[in-house]
Amino acid sequence: MTHSPQKLDLPTRPYRRIATEEAFSPPEMLEIYRKILAKDNVDVGFKNLMGFYMSSPSERAQHIMRCLVDLDELRIAHMDASGIDIQVLALTSPGAQIMDRETAVSFIPNANDELAAAIKRHPTRFAGMVALAPQDPAASAKELQRCADLYGMRSAVINSHTQGEYLSDKKFWPIFEAAEALNMPIYLHPNSLPAQMIDPFIEAGLDGAIYGFGVETGLHALRIITSGVFDQFPNLKMVLGHMGEALPFWAYRLDYMHNATVRSKRYEAIQPTKRKPSEYLKENFYITNSGVAWGPALQFTQAFMGTDRVLYAMDYPYQYLPEEVDMLERVDMTPEVKRQFFQDNAVKVFDLKI
Ligand code: 1DF
Ligand code: MN
């Protein structure tokens, strides 16, 4: 190992802290992004997200760009300084999903190879999710299998919509079929808003992680639920960040209105499902607290989902705040629940060999 020994309170803590939504970018991806950003008619949401981080002189943007491309000393120093033992890495949003299909399909194996190499360099500090190009569902299914076979990777990340298309569309279901067969959970991470919904958000400056991300990713998860994905793939596991993008808070109303909509045959798209929306949330999903270091929201989510389905995430480097780890440590949880939250649930969901 190349990093210095931990100077943390590890001996007094009967668990390791595992952060489960931690972003990185190969420099090669930023080069592809630069080419996309140089074109006319760039996607507005993408321009406002990665276009901002890649060009802004602000301290926040510069810091994030430095951290994103580092998978060695800088990142591990930040982990040590904030008491994070292990990061579960994910290709930063939007990953390859903004690229044209051909570019995306040829880039994705490189991104996963680079991730695997970083994990190999720091096997006690990093784990990672397979990145995909949903533009090609068959290639995505193959890439899941390749990374499982070659690298022992046990999960995947999809950054919400792909150029305005949703995984509720059956053309994408080969990805779910493969993920279920390989028992690899899919982390449904936010993306910038698609062109068809961004206007009223961007006008008010609310399209990003402040609110737009959560609205769109919550919508995406709900579309997956109501389209019957989990009736077709009952053992498929998905992960949502940001306290489940607020869906637990919506659960009662979702169940009531879903049932009312089914009964009145109001929409072709809303057909009966075997279970209630809240049941899929509780039985097919896991939720991380990424971006939300707030006791009442955490305790509500644990009460709704069960303490075995809520995991810790920092969202490094976008929300790198060491004091938030302490805030979460101070939330009233039994030692057993705290250990589930910081360690045991992540070990189980991401099948970590620690
Ligand atoms: C931001 C937030 C960017 C999250 C992200 O990836 C991201 C941000 C580009 O603050 O702009 O993953 N997040 O998950 O909250
Ligand atoms: Mn994130």
How confident is the model over 59-79, as pLDDT tens digits?
999 999 999 999 999 999 999
Kindly list the distances between the CA atom of residue 182 and the CA atoms of 143, 239, 314, in Å, as whole numbers in the listed order.
12, 16, 27
Helix (H, G, I), strand (E, B) or coil at 126: strand
Ligand 2 centroid, distance to 268 Cα (angstroms) = 33
Taking CA atoms only, the protein residue closest to ligand 1 atom 2 is 209
Those residues whose C-beta lies under 8 Å from the C-beta of residue 105, and which sit 6 or more positions away, are: 96, 133, 135, 136, 139
Cα of 349 vs its chain's centroid, Å: 13
Q: Is 199 an active-site residue? A: no
Closest CA to 189 of 211, 221, 165, 230: 221
| Measured distance CA(208)–CA(278) in Å, rounded | 26
Residue tagged active-site, from 43, 85, 136, 315? 315
* Residue 137 · residue 174 · CB < 8 Å: yes
* Residue 77 · residue 5 · CB < 8 Å: no
* Residue 172 · residue 134 · CB < 8 Å: yes
* Residue 95 · residue 115 · CB < 8 Å: no
> DSSP letter at 307?
G
**Mean pLDDT by 10-residue block, N- to C-terminus, for the chain (354 residues)?**
47 90 98 98 97 98 98 98 98 98 98 98 98 98 98 98 98 98 99 98 98 98 98 99 98 98 97 98 98 98 98 98 96 97 98 94
Cβ atoms within 10 A of the Cβ of 206, count? Answer: 14
- What's the pLDDT tens digit per position in 259-316? 999 999 999 999 999 999 999 999 999 999 999 999 999 999 999 999 999 999 999 9
Q: How many CA atoms within 13 Å lie on the side-chain side of 45?
A: 28
Taking CA atoms only, the protein residue closest to ligand 1 atom 11 is 209
Taking CA atoms only, the protein residue closest to ligand 1 atom 3 is 318
pTM over 0.95: yes
Q: Report the pocket of ligand 1 as residue ranges, CB < 6 Å.
A: 23, 49, 92-93, 190, 208-209, 213, 241, 290-291, 315, 318
Cα of 203 vs its chain's centroid, Å: 26
Ligand 1 centroid, distance to 63 Cα (angstroms) = 14
Closest CA to 213 of 190, 188, 236: 190
| Measured distance CA(217)–CA(245) in Å, rounded | 7
* Residue 317 · residue 24 · CB < 8 Å: no
